[in-house]
Amino acid sequence: MSRFEIAEFGLGVKGVKRLTLGDARGSLTRLFCAQDLATAGWNKPISQVNWVENNMRGTVRGFHYQIAPFAEDKLLFCMDGEMHDVVIDVRRGSNSFMQHVAVNLSAERGDGLLIPAGFAHGYQCLSYDVKLIYFHSASHSPSSERGLNPLDPTLKIKWPLAVENLSERDQKHALINMTFEGDQF
């Protein structure tokens, strides 16, 4: 029996809901199982695990991705609070190139996403104290990291709240017509 419910959100992005088992003593929630997640498309070893804490409602982080040879699958779970998650296809030649999927994730519901390599990821905090855990199939490589500007009007992202606390780095990401020069997966 799988401890995850998998849903297709489009573009190859999958929703992953953690199922919790519990009784009077407490509960157990599985965060990763290679066998269960293989059916959803995760077929690589975990190379890195990151914990992210966000204090302010409205905070936007992203859009981040890595190019080959460090292109990475990501499995993330919202562990506290609620967030609006956006995933953009940045694979040149893809039928869905530059299309995006947006979904709200909640810790209370056990929500997460499985994001394949070749997708940029960003999110906005819909509550205070949003916490996430990320599982990555490749280690962070500064020379391979890329990003899209979350305020780029070409992306047509509809953030649910006013954008707050956008890092200087994310503000400086080039616009789409300049970003993809030479990037390939």
- Angle of CA points 81, 140, 107, to nearest 5°: 15
3-state secondary structure of 21: strand
Note the pLDDT of residue 184.
47
Q: Identify the sign of the CA torsion 12, 33, 138, 52.
A: positive
Using CA atoms, how far apart are residues 40 and 9, in angstroms rounded to an integer?
12
Note the pLDDT of residue 72.
96
3-state secondary structure of 180: coil
Using CA atoms, how far apart are residues 164 and 46, in angstroms rounded to an integer?
32
Using CA atoms, how far apart are residues 72 and 112, in angstroms rounded to an integer?
16
- Angle of CA points 37, 40, 45, to nearest 5°: 45
How much is the pTM? 0.90
Note the pLDDT of residue 97.
93
Q: Which of 65, 134, 140, 173 is catalytic?
A: 134
40 in Cβ contact with 16 (< 8 Å): yes
Q: Where are the domains of the chain?
A: 4-179
Amino acid letter at 30?
R
Note the pLDDT of residue 185.
43
> In angstroms, how far is CA 162 from the centroid of its own chain?
20
4-179: CATH topology is Jelly Rolls (2.60.120)
Using CA atoms, how far apart are residues 5 and 12, in angstroms rounded to an integer?
16
Active site includes 173? no
Active site includes 100? no
Note the pLDDT of residue 174.
81
| pLDDT tens, residue by residue, 60-91 | 999 999 999 999 999 999 999 999 999 999 99
Of 108, 133, 2, 132, which Cα lies nearest the Cα of 59? Answer: 132
Q: Which of 64, 84, 136, 173 is catalytic?
A: 64
Per-residue confidence in pLDDT tens, the chain, 185 aa: 788 999 999 999 999 999 999 999 999 888 999 999 998 899 999 999 999 999 999 999 999 999 999 999 999 999 999 999 999 999 999 999 999 999 999 999 999 999 999 999 999 999 999 999 999 999 999 999 999 999 999 999 999 999 999 999 999 988 877 555 555 44
Contacts of 153 (CB under 8 A, 6+ apart): none
Other beta carbons within 10 angstroms of residue 152's beta carbon come to 16
67 in Cβ contact with 185 (< 8 Å): yes
